[in-house]
């Protein structure tokens, strides 16, 4: 939506206002549910003639319609001339306390020259930028306990840059405490469940059992 808004301001007289994504009554909704990155334009002051007997050309502002077509054309040209978004982007704690591991699926497009990686401590605000050609990539010399926001985009041979895809993670040296731990009593057993840790160097989990609170635990691995 941000790209469409920027193009509308650049090439049309329209004033963009961002709404909700792909309402179920929109023409783009079926594409959206099928997994396509799609959205639609809709007038802010909605037509009183919509789907009525008076829904005819003479009741519409064709200059306004022309501006909407300009916006659609600008978006079409922009998306066809720029690389596609990077797919399967994952950013995980590498486990050293100073590194994050960024991975993604390399584009099959032969026109892709490299990928730009952006690093910062606030979303959308980056103080470090560098270019790489292969995945995965280890981002080092970070500060332990600080959340980092990392963006990645594809750049083609002509220098056109695609949309930045952002992820965030925090480097730690010690594995984090498992979260969402639950227990389900069953016949002759107890089923434990928890949210899987995402540290890259995670080897496994220790489970401790005791017959009484504060008792000597037995390690079950």
* Sign for the pseudo-dihedral over CA of 78, 84, 89, 91: negative
Residues 165 and 187 placed together within one structural domain of the fold: no
Nearest by Cα to 115 from 139, 145, 148:
139
- DSSP readout, 12-50? SS-------S--TTSTTHHHHHTT--------SS--TTT
- Report percent pLDDT > 90 for the chain: 49
- pLDDT given at position 22: 67
- pLDDT given at position 19: 72
Residues 105 and 161 placed together within one structural domain of the fold: yes
Q: How much is the average pLDDT of 59-82?
A: 87
Asked if residue 131 belongs to a domain, the reply is yes
Asked if residue 174 belongs to a domain, the reply is no
Q: What is the pLDDT of residues 13-47, one digit of tens each?
A: 888 887 766 677 778 788 888 877 777 788 888 88
Residues 69 and 108 placed together within one structural domain of the fold: no
Final residue belonging to a domain, choices 48, 81, 114: 81
Residues 7 and 72 placed together within one structural domain of the fold: yes
Q: What is the largest CA-CA distance in the chain?
A: 85
**pTM of the predicted model over 0.75:** no
For residue 90, the SS3 value is strand
Residues 37 and 93 placed together within one structural domain of the fold: no
Q: How many domains does the chain have?
A: 3
Final residue belonging to a domain, choices 81, 112, 129: 81
> With 70 as the cut, is the pLDDT of residue 109 above it?
yes
Domain that holds residue 205: 179-220
- pLDDT given at position 155: 94
Final residue belonging to a domain, choices 81, 99, 116: 81
d(C-alpha 163, C-alpha 8), whole Å: 17
């Amino acid at each position: 939506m941000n790209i469409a808004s920027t193009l509308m301001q650049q090439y049309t007289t329209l004033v963009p206002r961002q709404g909700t994504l792909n309402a179920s009554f929109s023409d783009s909704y079926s594409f959206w549910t099928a997994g396509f990155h799609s959205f639609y334009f809709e007038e802010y002051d909605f037509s009183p003639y919509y789907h009525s007997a008076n829904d005819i050309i003479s009741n519409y502002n064709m200059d306004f319609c022309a501006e909407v077509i300009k916006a659609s054309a600008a978006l079409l040209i922009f998306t066809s001339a720029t690389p596609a978004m990077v797919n399967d982007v994952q950013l995980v704690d590498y486990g050293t306390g100073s590194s994050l591991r960024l991975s993604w699926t390399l584009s099959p497009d032969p026109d892709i020259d490299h990928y730009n990686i952006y690093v910062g401590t606030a979303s959308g605000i980056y103080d470090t930028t560098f270019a790489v050609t292969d995945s995965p990539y280890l981002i080092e010399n970070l500060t332990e306990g600080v959340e980092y926001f990392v963006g990645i985009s594809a750049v083609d041979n002509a220098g056109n840059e695609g949309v930045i895809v952002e992820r965030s993670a925090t480097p730690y040296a010690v594995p984090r405490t498992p979260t969402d731990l639950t227990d389900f009593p069953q016949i002759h057993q107890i089923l434990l469940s928890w949210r899987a840790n995402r540290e890259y160097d995670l080897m496994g989990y220790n489970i401790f059992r005791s017959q009484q609170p504060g008792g000597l635990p037995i390690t079950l691995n």
